[in-house]
């Protein structure tokens, strides 16, 4: 028997939800609901220096305005530090991870691949040391429902990577995997900007002896000038009063053939159409740019 579908949306409260993140949330919601599955919500607020006051409340409000109801309690990563700490300690004790005190400027000189400077130094524990996870020299291939397979050799392309930063903040790569495992996530549907994190995450699943979820990386929404529509570009905040029109455009951005008549319909009516009709295979591949459906 196949396991029941459990999906999730995992926003970082570093800014407001914009059209691009709405589209990613909508894809993950529709994929879960189409499968009759659950859709969980997790707030990825590990890095308090990036979290913006009130961003979480506004994200929750936007999800509500767009009718994207989640199941269960909201999980916040800031409340789960014990889980991340315990696993990091285990890896340190097993020799799978080690402390690193390399200064930032040395790392910058080395370029993108960590040369393993601290891997044999056996530094003693210190709160201001980073913790790195050892990788090995084997190709890891991410199979995605939409994207071409992506293969990375972590040893050649990245080196041992950080699971706890020098400022004590646990890395996204660590927290996302421990949480997805603990929440029983079977399907990860998220923006294609996270595709190249996936081999690192798969390495964690391997070390933890867990099977990887299915992946669907949704193409990013670009602006006319080809720039990714990111929170940093301070894209137009979503307007509750415009929710029906924006929902229609978001469905079109996901290449779903939502009928013209539903353009002014409530978000609930549009979701009631889109859920049974969800066809992720209609999504364009990552290299195509979807420009036709931007708000404006």
Contact (CB, 8 A) for 135 and 158? yes
For residue 44, the minimal CB distance to ligand GLU (Å) is 4
Pick the piece of the chain touching ligand GLU (CB under 6 A) from 10-18, 152-160, 208-216, 259-267: 10-18
Give the nearer residue to ligand GLU in terms of CB position, either 21 or 293.
21
For residue 99, the minimal CB distance to ligand GLU (Å) is 26
For residue 70, the minimal CB distance to ligand GLU (Å) is 14
- Dihedrals phi, psi of 113, to nearest 5 degrees: -100, 120
Binding mask 12-51 for ligand GLU (x = CB under 6 A): x-------------------------------x-------
Per DSSP, the residues of 30-83 read HHHHHTT-EEEEEE----TTT--TTHHHHHHHHHHHTT-PPPSPPEEGGG-HHH
| Gap between the Cα atoms of 193 and 206, Å rounded | 22
Residues in binding contact with ligand GLU, number by CB under 6 A: 7
* By the rule CB under 6 A, 173 interacts with ligand GLU: no
Name the strand (E) or helix (H) holding 109: helix 104-110
Give the nearer residue to ligand GLU in terms of CB position, either 15 or 67.
15
For ligand GLU, the binding residue among 190, 200, 217, 249 (CB under 6 A) is 190
Give residues with Cβ within 8 angstroms of 158, minimum separation 6.
Answer: 112, 113, 114, 135, 152, 200
| Gap between the Cα atoms of 105 and 166, Å rounded | 14
Give the nearer residue to ligand GLU in terms of CB position, either 176 or 202.
176
- End-to-end C-alpha distance for the chain, whole angstroms: 46
Which residues within the stretch 191-230 sit at the binding site for ligand GLU (CB under 6 A)? 194
Give the nearer residue to ligand GLU in terms of CB position, either 186 or 270.
186
* By the rule CB under 6 A, 10 interacts with ligand GLU: yes
For residue 201, the minimal CB distance to ligand GLU (Å) is 8
Q: Quick one: angle between helices 267-277 and 243-253, nearest 10?
A: 20
Binding site for ligand GLU (CB under 6 A): 10-12, 44, 176, 190, 194
């Amino acid at each position: 028997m196949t396991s029941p579908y459990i999906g999730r949306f995992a926003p970082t409260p570093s800014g407001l939800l914009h059209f691009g993140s709405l589209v990613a949330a909508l894809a993950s919601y529709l994929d879960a609901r189409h499968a009759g599955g659950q859709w969980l919500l997790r707030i990825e607020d590990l890095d308090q220096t990036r979290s913006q006051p009130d961003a979480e409340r506004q994200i929750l409000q936007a999800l509500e305005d767009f009718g994207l109801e989640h199941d269960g309690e909201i999980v916040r990563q800031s409340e789960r530090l014990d889980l991340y700490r315990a696993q990091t300690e285990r890896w340190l004790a097993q020799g799978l991870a080690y402390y690193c005190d390399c200064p930032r400027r040395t790392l910058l000189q080395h370029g993108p691949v960590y040369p393993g400077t601290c891997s044999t130094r056996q530094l003693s524990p210190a709160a201001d040391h980073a913790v790195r996870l050892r990788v090995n020299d084997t190709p890891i291939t991410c199979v995605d429902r939409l994207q071409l397979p992506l293969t990375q050799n972590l040893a050649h392309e990245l080196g041992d990577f950080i699971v706890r930063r020098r400022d004590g903040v646990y890395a996204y790569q660590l927290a996302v995997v421990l949480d997805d495992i603990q929440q029983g996530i079977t399907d990860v549907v998220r923006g294609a900007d996270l595709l190249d994190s996936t081999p690192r995450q798969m390495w964690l699943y391997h070390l933890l002896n867990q099977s990887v979820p299915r992946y669907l990386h949704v193409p990013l929404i670009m602006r006319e000038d080809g720039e990714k529509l990111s929170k940093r570009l301070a894209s137009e905040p979503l307007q509750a009063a415009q929710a029906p029109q924006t929902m229609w455009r978001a469905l079109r951005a996901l290449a779903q053939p939502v009928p013209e008549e539903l353009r002014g319909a409530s978000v609930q009516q549009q979701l009631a159409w889109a859920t049974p009709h969800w066809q992720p295979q209609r999504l364009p591949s990552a290299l195509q740019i979807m420009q036709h459906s931007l708000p404006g």
